[in-house]
Amino acid sequence: MSSAHLAATTAYVMPPLWRVLTKSAYFVGLCGAIGSTVTYAAVLRPALRAPGTERCDAEIVRRRTATYLAWAGAVLLVAGYFQLAARVARAGKGMPFGDALAPGRILTFLTAPAAKGAWVAQGTIHLIQNAVLVLAAATLIALFTPAARRHLDALALIALPLALAVSLIGAIPATRPADLDHALDPVIDQTHIVGGVVWVGGLALLAVLAGAHRRLGAHAGLLWADIWRRFSLVALVCVGAVLVSGLWMSWKHVGSIGQLWTTTYGLFLFVKILLVLGMVAAGGVNQFWLMPRIVRARAEDATSSLLHLTLRHFPRVVWAEVALGAGVLGIVPFLGGSARSQAGSPPPVATGSIFAVGAALALTLAASLYITARVSDGLSRRPATGTAGMIEP
């Protein structure tokens, strides 16, 4: 290895514990705020309003959802404050995290003038971001009160764009991107983040709500069959967004397959990839095995089997996905730098051919997800062969 190659090598720096905790907690907060509100708007709200839904079951799910969203707002508020303090601790020459928690230090960071060549001060971007975060958190926290719960639909739909804006505003660059490649980076990053938090956050919300199965009526399986069907479509979109953006980010940060186990960054990324693939596999079990059985049990009016499938079998797999998702969130703070810099590899160069390959991969993945949905639907239409009887508790 040449001396120039050695000089280009950057050693991996393990993040301090406060950085690991604040970043993981921040993404947990986003999962709660973004994932839960998107899932409520796209899945729960239409399912609860569908004809034939038992009013008592719908009210129980709505009440538990309101409580969950309220706690999600509280977690977002606390996690957002610690994440902001972490930014202060890392800004400039840095300072101890304990000192960065002081409101005065945070105010100084937020009101600092713009750097030379910047179109806006970085602190101003974070000031706007955290103002929106407080609004989103306050909207959700209001659901702790009985009066606000009567307006669950309105508050959840107000909190949804605010929570999304928290993540999107933070990605706005303070300086003009040097080229198209750098302009795409924040877009790809946000696609990855939003897709991931909707996926994990939605799974966590539904897994918790399914825990109320003992309070639900005998026909609650119909409601939950509709809920799982709707969320399966949301999850497919999230999987596509995460995989496509993840491929781009992996190409940016990893120069070769070997760097996945010869660099510290690569090892952490490899573990993350395994966890995500585990989530995809668990989702495949739901899509190809459980969903078709749920559809057939619903068609046969097998009430007991439907209830057991939707509120016992399905949530067990979902909890496994949530556990894997929690592992992903725990890995994220350790993905600092890149495998390329640690291995001394040259930075990637985005060319027209690279964009063409990326577009082809995205289209291929979209086609495969469409085929997945069609195959699952086809399996659900196959004649039952005693399946309902086999799945009784």
Write down the domain spans for the chain: 3-390
Confidence of residue 102 (pLDDT cuts 50, 70, 90): very high
Three-class SS state of 102: coil
For residues 222 and 306, is the Cβ–Cβ distance under 8 A?
A: yes
DSSP letters of 192-226? HHHHHHHHHHHHHHHHHHHTTGGGS-TTHHHHHHH
- Label residue 7 by pLDDT band (50, 70, 90): very low
Res 325: pLDDT = 95
- Residues 200, 328: contact at Cβ < 8 Å? yes
Which pLDDT belongs to residue 295?
Answer: 79
Q: Report the pLDDT value the prediction gives residue 219, as an integer from 0 to 100.
A: 78
* Pairwise CA distance, residues 328 & 280, whole Å: 13
Check whether 361 has a pLDDT greater than 70: no
Higher pLDDT pick, 297 / 390: 297
* pLDDT surpassing 80 at residue 6: no
Enumerate the H helices of 3-121 as residue ranges.
Answer: 3-7, 17-30, 36-39, 45-48, 55-90, 97-100, 103-110
Q: How confident is the model at residue 357 (pLDDT cuts 50, 70, 90)?
A: low
Q: With contact defined as beta carbons under 8 Å apart, do 228 and 314 qualify?
A: yes
What is the greatest pairwise CA distance in the chain? 73
Say what the pTM is: 0.88
Average pLDDT over residues 186-207: 95
So what's the pLDDT on residue 264? Answer: 93
Q: In the block, which residue shows the tokens 């291929």?
A: 364
Query: What is the chain's mean pLDDT, rounded?
Result: 86
List the one residue out of 44, 82, 369 whose CA is nearest residue 201.
Answer: 44
26-81 pLDDT, tens digit each: 999 999 999 999 999 999 999 999 887 888 888 999 999 999 999 999 999 999 99
Confidence check: pLDDT of 2 > 60: no
C-alpha span between 84 and 81 (Å, rounded) = 5
Indicate whether 373 pLDDT > 70. no
Report the alpha-carbon angle 30-35-40, nearest 5. 140
> What tens digit of pLDDT does each residue of 331-341 get?
999 998 888 88
The confidence score (pLDDT) of residue 1 equals 41
Averaged pLDDT for residues 253-264? 89
**Residue 45 to residue 202: CA distance in whole angstroms:** 13
What is the average per-residue pLDDT within 144-155? Answer: 95
Q: Sorting pLDDT into bands at 50, 70 and 90, what band is 165?
A: very high
Question: Residue 231's closest CA among 33, 47, 62, 32?
Answer: 47
Average the pLDDT over each of 12-21, 43-52, 300-309, 313-322 and give the range with the smallest value: 300-309
Closest to 174 (Cα-Cα) out of 132, 133, 109, 117: 117
Each residue's pLDDT tens digit, 169-182: 999 998 888 777 77
Is the pLDDT confidence value at 384 over 60?
no
CA–CA separation, 250 and 236 (whole Å): 21
Rounded to an integer, the average pLDDT of 258-287 is 91
**The pLDDT of residue 390:** 39
Q: Kindly tell me if the per-residue pLDDT of 23 is higher than 90.
A: yes
What percentage of residues in the chain have a pLDDT greater than 70?
87
The secondary structure element, H or E, covering residue 275 is helix 264-285
Q: What pLDDT sits at residue 213?
A: 73
d(CA 138, CA 224): 30
Instruction: Name the band, by pLDDT with cuts 50, 70 and 90, for residue 346.
Output: confident
Q: How many CB atoms lie within 10 A of CB 119?
A: 10
The pLDDT of residue 12 is 87
